[in-house]
Structure 1
Amino acid sequence: MRLSVLIASYNGENYIKEQISSIISQINFEDEIIVSDDGSTDSTIEIIRNFKDSRIKIIQGPRKGLIKNFENAINNSNGDVIIFSDQDDIWGSERINSLIKAFNNNADLVISKSIAVDSNLNPLKGILADPTFQRGLIRNLYKNTYIGATMAIKKSELMKALPFPNSIIMHDQWIGLNMELLNKNIQYEPSGILYHRRLESNVTYNKKQSLFKKINDRLVMGLLILRVMIKSLTKVDNSSE
């Protein structure tokens, strides 16, 4: 089982060394870390190169935002399992072992336990804390608990969700909803902890949204998932003829 850890980087000099250090100590020699950099102007690339590790591969991002940057990383990966990673988190020492255990137990998608922290790794509470993961298509359409940094997925399953539609809000919710729709084996692994920094500079940092935008976002995602459902049912009907 070859692992590909994907990092979509952009001006991540403050924390990316700490994050890569927590990852690289856990992966094997045949695994890889794909860093798709979207045009960093700070010392991010220099910091990554200083690791001098052949398992780390830096590629140029498309400069079309976070979602397309991750898609670029996926398309340049070679692993059997794709693990998403933020550039400013820290992985607990049992993250990889817990993922391997779950995939050996026939998981298609694995969610690790996430502890939301500030820049100094102090735990956060309330609205800034990560939502507790819960299964359910409607549940996650209404309030998403699929957080990209916590997710690892078989590449064969992930490719079914590509290319990412231009109108989706975030790729992690899209992947999770597709897996729910297809009734895949989704496992939660609380032993594989990661410390998820919630910073104001983060793309996914919680900001207040208008009621209109919240409703619109859910409608857009719902219609896209409905389209996938209809397409899936059409394939079943055609195959039965």
Structure 2
Amino acid sequence: MNDQNRLPDVPLRASICMATYNGAEFVEEQLASILAQLGPDDEIVIVDDASTDDTVARIRQLADPRIRLIEAAANQGYVRSFEQAVRASRGGAIFLADQDDVWIGGRLDAMLEALATQAVVASNFDVLGGGDRPPIPRLRAADSGRHRANLWGIMVGYRAYYGCGMAFRREVLPSFVPVPAYLHESHDLWLAILGNTAGSIRHLDDSTLLRRLHESNATPRGWRSLRVILAARVVLLRLMVEARRRLRAASART
């Protein structure tokens, strides 16, 4: 286990960024599945969002030097915790990972290969233990270049962009952060909007992780009210405008 305040500024291959909160029941299994795929030049950056169970103790018990644990002083929500982890990362490739999933073997290499040519990669998932997936079509590699259609799919809710299945190159970081202050969920859609707006995203046909579906998932499983749906669409429109603004600014700086 490393103390984030005593780390040299050493470039790494990949940073896996995770937000934990009361995840003691599943976090060890997830970390084991990730660590099995990492090399010595990779890291896992975990921001614990003031858990009240023994999540932190279980992470510390692993005693793996590739794990960097940051403990938030107070609960800030999973979007801010992911943002904090991403900001603290040092890898050339930045992966988002949930605390309660299981990575499928070969995930890291498959996504790094995609990132060799595209700024953002998004993969599919299967449900741990079987069962029904959410009623959204799987991502298709053939749709990777259909950026306008993908943005429309985000608006109407049929593009299956889930943060647990996504990664991005470090060059995207200055556009990704700061995450807009009005965004309190769906940081994954913010990343997908940036990738599609920039015209640099790749979908993987294969599933690269097993997602555990349960009542504590941050992503809602049921239908939302019309009021909530409309409010979310307004946020998505704001994000699309903001993505264009930030990408233009980034282009002007280069």
Same fold? TM cut 0.5: yes
TM-score of the pair, normalised by structure 1: 0.87
Q: Does 1:140 align with 2:150?
A: no
Name the SS for the 2:196 alignment partner. helix
Q: Is contact 1:95–1:191 with CA below 8 Å preserved after alignment?
A: no
Q: What amino acid is the match of 2:114?
A: A
Q: Does 1:3 align with 2:14?
A: yes
Query: Which residue of the partner structure matches residue 153 of structure 1?
Result: 168
CA distance in 2, matches of 1:234, 1:162: 13
Number of residue pairs aligned between Structure 1 and Structure 2:
231
Q: Deviations over 1:50-84 (max 9, x none)?
A: 11110001002362101000000011111111010
* Runs of at least 5 residues in structure 1 that lack an aligned partner in the other structure: none
CA distance in 2, matches of 1:6, 1:110: 15
Q: Is contact 1:114–1:130 with CA below 8 Å preserved after alignment?
A: no
Q: Deviations over 1:24-66 (max 9, x none)?
A: 0100001100110001111111111111110001002362101
CA 1:196–1:228: 2 relative to 1, 3 Å? same
Q: Does 1:92 align with 2:104?
A: yes
CA distance in 1, matches of 2:31, 2:75: 22
Q: Does 1:201 align with 2:207?
A: no
Q: Does 1:45 align with 2:56?
A: yes
Q: What amino acid is the match of 1:8?
A: A
CA distance in 1, matches of 2:135, 2:28: 24
Query: Which residue of the partner structure matches residue 123 of structure 1?
Result: 131
Runs of 4+ in 1 over 3 A off after TM superposition: 128-131, 230-236
CA distance in 2, matches of 1:130, 1:27: 31
Q: Is contact 1:84–1:152 with CA below 8 Å preserved after alignment?
A: yes
Name the SS for the 1:189 alignment partner. strand
CA distance in 2, matches of 1:39, 1:235: 34
Name the SS for the 2:80 alignment partner. helix
CA distance in 2, matches of 1:54, 1:3: 15
CA distance in 1, matches of 2:137, 2:232: 18
Which of 188, 204, 226 aligns to 1:172? It is 188
Name the SS for the 1:14 alignment partner. coil
Q: What amino acid is the match of 2:105?
A: S
Aligned-CA RMSD value: 2.2
Residue 192 of structure 1 and its aligned partner are, at CA, apart by 5.4
Query: Which residue of the partner structure matches residue 102 of structure 1?
Result: 114
Query: Which residue of the partner structure matches residue 147 of structure 2?
Result: none
Residue 189 of structure 1 and its aligned partner are, at CA, apart by 2.5
Q: Is contact 1:2–1:30 with CA below 8 Å preserved after alignment?
A: yes
Q: Is contact 2:93–2:112 with CA below 8 Å preserved after alignment?
A: no
Name the SS for the 2:62 alignment partner. coil
CA 1:208–1:81: 2 relative to 1, 3 Å? same
CA 1:196–1:77: 2 relative to 1, 3 Å? same
Identity within the alignment, %: 29
Residue 233 of structure 1 and its aligned partner are, at CA, apart by 5.6
CA distance in 2, matches of 1:183, 1:212: 31
* Runs of at least 5 residues in structure 2 that lack an aligned partner in the other structure: 1-11, 145-149
Which of 25, 49, 60 aligns to 2:36? It is 25
Q: Is contact 2:175–2:247 with CA below 8 Å preserved after alignment?
A: no
